[in-house]
Copies of this chain bind each other. A is one copy, B any other.
């Protein structure tokens, strides 16, 4: 263990637009005394997590901020969800995230989440795992509600295939198609279509589903797959920077990305990955992890969810909860030997309800930081800070530099 400490605090969907709330962004409007304290005592800027003008998905944004270039080996989201659900993963296998869904007799999707089904996960998992496929092994893991992960294992498989999930109800299950001209993609797509048909066969007559239909509930009578992908072949954070690290989070995607890069993961009690998440519990867990780790990444999700729901008030209130969690860190860590970077993975404006390309505020705080004249956090104040505009891949090198954890280039 090293003698100094570092924290990466990512607020999913942190950024906003002046159209959020009467000419202010949610972050600008929120009461955030602790965030204002790190802004005024730190150095501020704006972060383009992938590059300027690019709307980042959450997976590639987090990879970039953790210093992994998504252009080098990113194939899709499924593998991170599988990792986040606790599935053991292997190089070369293909991973998907899956939904239990409800389709009618013509394979038209009535509900993509089978009524957010809360029962029968074990029965469904067992039924699906009873299928036999030719020439390929697979494993299916049901997790919470409609969610799950699927692994295909065998020679000559490719992640370059399309989703069977139509992403909207009222549409038919899609045929899985190759996304490039390789033999492997063609073969993998055929396997997924065979699997989908057989899953439909074993699911439709389950006792569970008859009961649900009798009760007027959506049956879980098919499995939709999306995000076909493989493990990335990358060095761990320990190999790259020599740091022992942990992620404190709740959403499977974020825990999964952290596992991909070799971090330990911890989902503390009360952490939900939504608005109601106990962020003080997360801050406490981070303080605890820093007892025997060098670097902790804290992820909080509720601001993004509020943005997707077009709910400015909820986003503002969640950011006020974030402020309290940062206050807990300010009170409970040794700030003579700790550096923190506070930022987001992308902008989720209230009017748009999805990710956009505007940069997010970023603040570095700690004893070695060159301060600037920014006095409060916000998209527009941070634009005038001493950091200027940064890109995601530079976030950790800049943080670790303050702790002298990086090597000299040249001599």
Chain A positions near chain B (C-beta within 8 angstroms): 17-19, 25, 46, 50-61, 70, 74, 76-77, 227, 349, 351-352, 354-358, 367-373, 379-380, 383-391, 394, 396-398, 401, 404, 406-411
Contacts and interface: CB of A to CB of B under 8 A. Distances in A.
A409 B54 contact: yes
A356 B391 CA distance: 19
Nearest to A229: B411
A383 B372 contact: yes
A300 B169 CA distance: 49
A410 B52 contact: no
Contact of A370 (B18, B70, B404): B18
A371 B379 CA distance: 10
B55 A398 contact: no
A398 B347 CA distance: 13
25 contacts: A17-B370, A19-B367, A19-B368, A25-B370, A50-B409, A51-B394, A52-B390, A52-B397, A52-B398, A53-B396, A54-B409, A55-B406, A55-B407, A56-B408, A57-B409, A57-B410, A76-B411, A77-B411, A357-B401, A358-B401, A370-B379, A372-B383, A372-B384, A373-B380, A383-B388
Number of copies: 2
A74 B398 contact: no
B352 A55 contact: no
A61 B410 contact: yes
A408 B70 CA distance: 13
Nearest to A23: B371
Contact of A60 (B52, B384, B409): B409
Given A25-B370, A54-B406, A227-B411, 5 more contacts: A18-B371, A371-B380, A373-B380, A383-B385, A387-B389
A390 B252 CA distance: 35
Contacts of A61: 410
A406 B227 contact: no
A380 B384 CA distance: 12
Contacts of A407: 55
Contacts of A389: 387-389
